[in-house]
């Protein structure tokens, strides 16, 4: 797994397009939100800014990059060659996805740390960590499912758009309007419950037990996405 991950990390830093989409664009967008934190906190809250940061990084830096990576490695038969080695399927996928996951986690941690320094610290740091990890798991699972429908890196630009834009839109909707209206609809949409959990962790004022229940919809999307990936994922190019 680790040799595959190291090789993939080198490829990320050699590919300018991937480097821009996975690192530079999310950081620039998030930096703008942090810089204008007073304005956006007035619209929503600091928890809303934290949720937008989380989903901007995981949507562009993790999800879209992971789908593109898997489609590219399938197209050039790299996945097929890896399966002829001693590495198992789980180790292969983990090795390919570990670098982008690690980079996304570092980005989220760094940007949220800056937000805490320039604005205010989260009310419940442990709950925030849980929200971040649950979101990462959901976006990885969605990436595996989407990769099963993606024929090439170019095709990934189309197949990733619904989820990439969708989760950010849901995060903004929940962050600005709150969860008081259309509560269950917001929570069942991808990213809705995770946004509410992130806001509760940063803003406080909600019982921890009530917030923990918000993990159920997010983990539900993980289960559904993994089930879809099991049926749809291909190790060789589609004919």
pLDDT in tens, 104-133: 999 999 999 999 998 889 999 999 999 999
Residue 232, Cβ neighbours under 10 Å: how many? 14
pLDDT above 90 covers what percent of the chain? 49
pTM of the full structure = 0.92
CB 100 within 8 A of CB 22: yes
Residue with token string 């703008």:
32
Average pLDDT over residues 68-87: 83
Residues in contact with 70: Cβ distance below 8 Å, sequence separation at least 6, in sequence order: 79, 96, 143, 144, 147, 150
Pick 84 or 232 by higher pLDDT.
232
pLDDT value for 98: 92
Query: Per-domain residue ranges for the chain?
Result: 2-232
Candidate from 28-42, 44-58, 107-121 with smallest mean pLDDT: 28-42
Could you give the CA distance from residue 100 to residue 26 in angstroms, rounded to a whole number? Answer: 13
pLDDT value for 238: 65
Q: Reduced to 3 states, what is the DSSP secondary structure of residue 93?
A: helix
Q: What is the DSSP string of 26-46?
A: HHHHHHHHHHTHHHHHHHS-H
Could you give the CA distance from residue 96 to residue 79 in angstroms, rounded to a whole number? Answer: 10
Helices 65-75, 125-147: axis angle to 10 degrees equals: 30
pLDDT of 86 > 80? The answer is: no
Q: How confident is the model at residue 239 (pLDDT cuts 50, 70, 90)?
A: low
Average pLDDT over residues 166-189: 90
pLDDT of 237 > 90? The answer is: no
pLDDT of 215 > 90? The answer is: yes
CB 51 within 8 A of CB 132: no
């Amino acid at each position: 797994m680790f040799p595959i991950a190291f090789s993939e990390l080198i490829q990320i830093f050699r590919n300018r397009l991937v480097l821009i989409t996975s690192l530079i664009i999310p950081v620039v967008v998030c930096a703008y939100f942090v810089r204008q934190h007073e304005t956006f906190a007035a619209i929503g809250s600091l928890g809303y800014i934290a949720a937008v940061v989380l989903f901007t990084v995981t949507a562009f830096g993790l999800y879209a990059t992971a789908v593109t990576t898997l489609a590219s490695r399938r197209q050039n038969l790299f996945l097929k060659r890896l399966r002829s080695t001693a590495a198992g399927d789980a180790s292969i996928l983990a090795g390919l996805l570990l670098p982008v996951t690690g980079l996304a986690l570092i980005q989220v941690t760094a940007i949220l740390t800056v937000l805490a320094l320039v604005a205010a610290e989260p009310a419940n740091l442990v709950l925030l960590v849980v929200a971040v990890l649950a979101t990462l798991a959901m976006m990885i699972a969605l990436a595996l499912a989407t990769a099963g429908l993606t024929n090439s890196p170019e095709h990934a630009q189309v197949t990733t758009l619904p989820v990439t834009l969708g989760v950010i839109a849901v995060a903004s909707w929940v962050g600005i309007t709150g969860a008081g209206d259309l509560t269950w609809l917001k929570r069942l949409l991808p990213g809705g419950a995770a946004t509410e959990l992130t806001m509760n962790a940063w803003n406080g004022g909600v019982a921890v037990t009530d917030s923990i229940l918000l993990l159920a919809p997010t983990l539900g999307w993980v289960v559904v996405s993994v089930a879809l990936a099991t049926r749809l994922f291909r190790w060789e190019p589609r004919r």
